[in-house]
Structure formats: structure tokens, C-alpha cells
Amino acid sequence: MKNKEVQMLNRLRAAYLDGTAGVADYWQSDDELDVYDRSFARRIGWKWLYVLRELDRIGWQPPKGNAITDWGCGSGVASRTIIEHFGDNYFSELRLFDRSLRATAFAASKAVKSFPQLLVKAADSPDFDGGIAVVSHVITELMPQQIKALVEHLRRADVILWTEPGTYAASRALISVRELLRSEYNVIAPCTHSVVCGMTSPVNKRHWCHFFAKSPPEAYTEREWTQFAEKLGIDLSDLPLSYLVLDKNRRGYNFPPDTARIIARPHVTARDAIVLGCSPSGVSERIAYKSRLPDAWRTFKKGEFDSLIRWVINGREITDIDGL
């Protein structure tokens, strides 16, 4: 990775970290978009793959033959990842919208090359009517009133696929979006229910809804990724994300009543694991003792656990646990 490219990425990263990314269009050149698309954007694509695999396992797919609109598309990695997953003949067209005309043109060019059979449009304004809305890594750039305005636009979509970085602020903002829309949509994921989010309870003020995707093998074997990690100080193994999937017309998986979603990573000690679980009854911390559940404790320690579980609770203790 060239020094000039590192400087570009550091500038973009600094804008995100100091909260100035939402002030104005930050793309200065196509070269900048290209190096971003080969680095930070690919990591966002890996997060989307995590979301799509979670949807696969519960048997949910977006309706076929509809338009897909990528709002705040940037380099277009979110919509490209989704289209690659389902196939370019799955959607009727791709609409790309961004405040940056440069970014929209770049994303459209990449999409046309990747999916020559798909109609690709660079939209002057977002058009969600009856289609599939994709929103990715924008919420930290928006003021609360801008988020509410975006939600009003999104109400016209049949399906909403939304992924954000797994930070406290991003997660909490996305939870607010969920609460604004849940009466009009079926909540597909990550929730196992459509009732009020348990994170809104005052007792859970310190928690946030986030998960961890895994980087693919090339992140550890390709020279460019090694340079990326070293020069920008990035932990390639750590891919925290928050996400929300809503469907206006179809329900999701019919979860058994003892289903829970494990939030983040359990806190593991030598004798137990503290597990933050979400279910229709709320969000709460439970304890799994190594002596009673040694196999589950080992998966928690290794970070190889399934986030969707069925559990038996006795007071605060998890007495039995299994994958869905």
C-alpha cells in the first residue's frame, strides 16, 4: 500500500472518528474512492456477508424482482455484496443515491462492471416505493432530525436492510429507528420478536446491540491487508456491527418461545460466563457455569458460539443451552 493511499485513508478515517464526516462531501477524487473500496469498504462487505448468512439460516429472502436502492451508497459495496449474494437476476434494477455525485458515479461504474445484465441507475433522489432499501454505515454522519427524515422516506420501502458499525452511538441510533418503524414492519433480524426493544429499558442503558463478523482468510494472508493493518493500526480480526432487517409484507422465522439472541460476546472467567441475551421478555444478563455447561463455556471462551440459542433459565442461571 502506497504512502499516498495511506494518507487518503487516514484522512477519511479521521473524519469519521472526529464526527465531521457528515458536514460535507468528503470524497476528493476517484483514486480516493478506489483505495477506500479496496480497504475499508471490503471490511464493510464482510459485515454484510455476516448479516446475509444470518438471514439465510432463518430462511428469509427479500422479494424477488424488485428494485434495490442503496441510500448513501459511497463506493456501493453494500448493494454489490447483496446482489452478489442473491444473483444479479434476482433484482429488477439497482438505484444508487449519494449526496456525492462523484461517489454515485463511481458506485454505478463498479456495479455495471460487476453486473452487466442488471439495470443500474444513478438516482437524483431516493426512490423506495415498493422496493428494497439498503442503508449502510451512514448513521454516524446524520443528525437526529436527519435520521427521522430518512425514516420518513424509508416508510415507502417494502424491505429495509440496514447495517452500521457496532458502536454504542450507532447501535442506539439504530434501535431508535427500529422503534419508529416496528409497528409498520415485521422485524426480521437480529431480533427474535417485534415487541419493544429490551435495550430501551433503563436497566440496560450501558448495553448496546452489536455483534462480531469474522474476517475471511485473505485478511491474514494477502500482503496488502498486512500493510493496511500495520500502517493504519487496524485490528483485522475485529469487525463489530449493528444491523436491522425489516419486512413490511412477510413475517420472519417463527422462533420457539425459549429462543434468545446472544448480544456481543459473553464475559468469560475461569468458572463461568456472563451472557447478555435478548428475548421477547427483554434483555438481561444470565450466567452459565463451567461446571454445569462445560461445552457451552468453551465455545464462549473461544468466541465460536452461535448467537441464536435456545436456553432454559432458572433464576439468573442458564441450566441448559443449545443452538437453534
pLDDT of residue 79: 98
Residue 4 CA to chain centroid, in angstroms? Answer: 30
pLDDT of residue 1: 77
Amino acid at 204: N
Cα torsion through 83, 85, 87, 92, rounded to 10: -30
| pLDDT at site 130 | 83
- Look at residue 8 and give its three-state secondary structure: helix
Residues 6+ apart with CB under 8 A from 114: 80, 83, 84, 88
Kindly give, in sequence order, each residue whose CB lies less than 8 Å from that of residue 24, ignoring residues fewer than 6 positions away: none
Q: Can you spell out the DSSP letters for 164-228?
A: EES-HHHHHHHHHHHHHHTTTSEEEES-S-SS--GGGSGGGTT----EEE---THHHH-HHHHHH
pLDDT of residue 19: 72
Ranges of the chain with pLDDT below 50: none
Question: Residue 241: its pLDDT value, please?
Answer: 98
Q: What is the pTM of this model?
A: 0.95
C-beta separation of 262 from 276 below 8 A: yes
pLDDT, tens digit, 9 for 90 and up, residues 37-62? 999 999 999 999 999 999 999 999 99
